[in-house]
Copies of this chain bind each other. A is one copy, B any other.
Amino acid sequence: MSKKNDKRQRLVDAADDLIYQQTFSSTTLADIALKADVPLGNYFKTKDDILKAVVQKREADLNALFSTWEQIPNIKDRLRSFITQFLQGSDTVARFGCAMGSMCQELGKLSGDISFLAAGLMKKTVNWVETQFKSLGKADKSGTLAEYLVAALQGGALMTLTFKDPAILKSQSKNLETWLESV
């Protein structure tokens, strides 16, 4: 990676962390520059610009995760990996919530294009889960099953954050793994 790209990446990583930990609206360009130790001006002119770069980074991360899971031959094992992915970060979820879910919650209240920016991440997630259910031969209700699974994990993540209790996400994940068996 060139030095220039490295500096840009440091800014995006810093913005990603700060937006997750303290919300987009509470994060200033100055916060991001300070955390990254890189002056912002040369790379991003506005907060919206850097938010777009953060969403692109998260989309690339999601693509990488999905590609990894697609190497797993057993389809239900893929979906179990999806569920336990949340579980692995349960302490962080108890502190800051789900990175994707909280961004959708915050940006969703805004007006204009920015309001839809994080929706693409959620859509990609629901679509990937739906594809797995289709591969399981659930074509007629794959959309409903995918929506159900993602909503249950998002609701579980919100309650984990609200009560600062990682045990909630663990219990929710366990219930969803049992549910998955029965599908």
Q: Show the binding face of A for B, using Cβ within 8 Å.
A: 21-23, 25-26, 95-97, 101-102, 104-106, 108-109, 115-116, 118-119, 122-123, 126, 144, 147-148, 150-156, 158-159, 161-164, 168, 171-172, 175
CA distance A149 to B35 in the complex (A): 40
Min C-beta distance of A22 to chain B, whole Å:
6
- Report how many copies the assembly holds: 2
Contact of A159 among B97, B147, B159, B168 (CB under 8 A): B147
A150-B159 contact, Cβ under 8 Å, with A96-B109, A105-B97, A109-B97: yes
Residue contact B101 to A108, C-beta cutoff 8 Å: no
Residue contact B151 to A119, C-beta cutoff 8 Å: no
Chain B residue numbers with a CB within 8 Å of A159 are: 122, 126, 147, 150-151, 154
Min C-beta distance of A157 to chain B, whole Å:
8
CA distance A115 to B97 in the complex (A): 12
A162-B104 contact, Cβ under 8 Å, with A147-B171, A155-B154: yes
Chain B residue numbers with a CB within 8 Å of A101 are: 105, 158
Chain B residue numbers with a CB within 8 Å of A168 are: 147
Chain B residue numbers with a CB within 8 Å of A96 are: 108-109
For residue A118, which residue of chain B has the nearest CB?
B162
Chain B residue numbers with a CB within 8 Å of A154 are: 154-155, 158-159
Min C-beta distance of A102 to chain B, whole Å:
5
